[in-house]
Structure 1
Amino acid sequence: MPPQVKRARCRYIPIGTSFTDLANELGDIFVVKPATGAGALRTSVVRSPGEYAQAMQPFSGQSDVEIVAESFMDASEVYIDGIWQNGDLQWSSMSRNHISPLSAVQGGVLAAHIWDRKRHAPLFQQAEALARQALTSLDAPDCVFHLEAFREESGLTFGECAIRLPGALSPQVNKLTFGVDLFDVEISLALGKS
């Protein structure tokens, strides 16, 4: 990621990394989660050594890249799902969850709100600029992507970007809302068809 892009601090943590080291580096509150995704499963907001010990229990410790710690962002997240082809953004949508995925895993109901491009034009411009910067710096191939960013008063802060289909029912929601079938696009791009 270019250094001028505001982003959450993040690092891999092997079993045995101390709470104090992470709190000193990431802040008094931080997040522990699987490096390979899994939605919000096994994701914990950590505020104390006891919570840290509990958050680390589900992990095997067999890999030093199994677990990620990330600075806690006290802001709502927006999700940019899109199509990247020929080195540029071809299409995108933006959504926001009614409650956080972490709250949904703990018993809430996950529901997404699709944002209207006309009503939120400045936010879409920021999000698409962020997506272009992220995917360019990743030297991304033609792909479907899912980018997460935190919405703060000062603008968007990059969270993470995955070169894959979005999770939950996002592909179906995009198809019903915009007529864009991300499953079909993903398969076409994988087969070298445009």
Structure 2
Amino acid sequence: MTVVCLGYRAGFVEAARRAGLDLHLVVDKIKPGLKGLSYTKVADLSDAEEVLRAVTEHPGDKMSAVVTGHEHPMFSATVIRSVFGLPGDTDPARCLRFRDKRVQKRAVSPKIPTARCAYLNPSAPDYAALAEQLGEVFVAKPADGFGSQATEPIRGQEQLDDYLRRHPARSDVSTVVESYVEGREIHVDGVWWDGRPAWTAVSGYLAPLMGWTKGEAVADAPLGPAESELSARATRFAAEVLRELDAPDTVFHLEAFVRPDGELVLGEVGARPAGALTPEVLRMTHGVDLYAATLDVGLGRAPELPVPPQEPAELFGWIYLVRDAGRQLTEDDFRDRFDVVEVDYPAPENDRVGTYGRCGHAIVKAATHEGLVDGLRAIAEFNRSV
């Protein structure tokens, strides 16, 4: 039997090999890592009809599960499970609660603090009316987007019009606007099984992800024992959110803001593993493989998790490296200056610019969250011209 994976992520390929599972990928981008693998190319992973045609052709009835580590194929995965009678969530309405930011925030009760959220009418974008509802500064973003792509603060009609020129709304429900939430951005990753959190880890971004368009570094560091109170509160908060959304058994990624007064505010939550290198550094830190856990959940079996959870001896964090025209750097420059666990920074002629302007990455470690953040900040400053 074959597990179908919607979208390529190396972690799934490695986890499937370790588990002795046959893997077939359905992808909308051809990446070097696909060489030698079984895959089908489609135009759009969010097009459930096209993806269904692809998996009906192959592997068809030999399919035992479908998984994804990406946001946009989640609805397609739900449809495939329903059609082929596979384990996992088959409820399209529930899937939508984990895809659409407006639907998600309406689905939770008032006891869950969230940003105020509304769809943006592209035919009559009225900053003044929206500012009265959401505040003088609000955030525009795709309703079903991922990461912080096309996510920008809006401070006036001119900015709103410019945003829509650069990111045209496809429909009346494709773009949302949300009230701006000030605070530190954290996230909770884990396994939700049988109506409770079976395992969780809490991490903090180096800076709010939305700041990447202004030159802020995109980096992530797990919290350590010194932040145990925040970790416990964030875990309880995540459990409340997932219960209110009637979450299925799933690996999840929840983002939240910590206001200056300590209140937690829901950013969004996805019923899939975190993006970027977060699963990789959580495995290094905690010994838990969220790709393997996703495969287990997809096959309808309880993931193998450490009981009780162990305190990590070291914390590992990641940072995306960018190309700065004012600073010519090589991979060896990072190796010589920093004690990196892993670094990838190809020569400019081999650039593959990805999400958040990524041209490479580095992974570092430290004994504490504070030490890890200091190390990531030092790399971020070195990566950019001053």
Please, what TM-score do these two structures have when normalized by structure 2?
0.48
Moved more, 54-63 or 79-88: 54-63
Higher RCO (CA < 8 A, seq sep 6+): 1
Q: CA deviation at 1:106?
A: 4.0
* Aligned residue number for residue 176 of structure 2: 68
Instruction: Indicate which of 173, 181, 193 corresponds to 1:85.
Output: 193
What are the superposed Cα offsets for residues 26-63 of structure 1, whole Å, 9 maximum, x if unpaired?
10000001112232121111111111111222333332
Q: Show structure 2 runs of 5+ residues with no match.
A: 1-107, 303-386
* Separation in structure 1 between the aligned mates of residue 120 and residue 299 of structure 2, nearest angstrom: 36
Query: 1:180 is paired with a residue of what secondary structure?
Result: coil
Give the match for residue 148 of structure 1.
Answer: 255
The answer for the alignment partner of 2:274 in structure 1 is: 166
Q: Which has the higher helix share?
A: 2
Whether the 8 Å contact between 2:125 and 2:161 is mirrored in structure 1 is: no
- For 1:88, give the aligned amino acid: R
User: Where does residue 208 of structure 2 map in the other structure?
Assistant: 100
Give the distance between the partners of 1:161 and 1:8, measured in 2 at CA: 13
Query: How many equivalent residue pairs?
Result: 193
Deviation of the 1:6 alpha carbon: 1.8
Name the stretch that deviates more: 29-38 or 60-69.
60-69
Between Structure 1 and Structure 2, which shows a larger proportion of strand residues?
Answer: 1
- Cα separation, partners in 2 of 1:60 and 1:51, compared to 1, 3 Å: closer
TM-score by length of 1: 0.93
Aligned position for 1:139 = 246
Q: For structure 1, which runs of at least 5 residues remain unmatched after alignment?
A: none
Pick the aligned partner of 2:287 from 175, 179, 186: 179
Structure 2 letter corresponding to 1:141 = P
Determine the structure 2 residue equivalent to 1:193.
Answer: 301
**Structure 2: distance between partners of 1:45 and 1:142:** 34
Asked whether the 8 Å contact 1:2–1:133 carries over to 2, the reply is no
Aligned runs of 1:35-50 on 2, under 5 Å? Answer: 35-50=143-158
Tell me whether 1:22 sits opposite 2:130 in the alignment.
Answer: yes
Does the aligned pair in 2 maintain the 1:59–1:67 contact within 8 Å?
no
Helix, strand or coil at the partner of 1:119: helix
**Structure of larger gyration radius:** 2
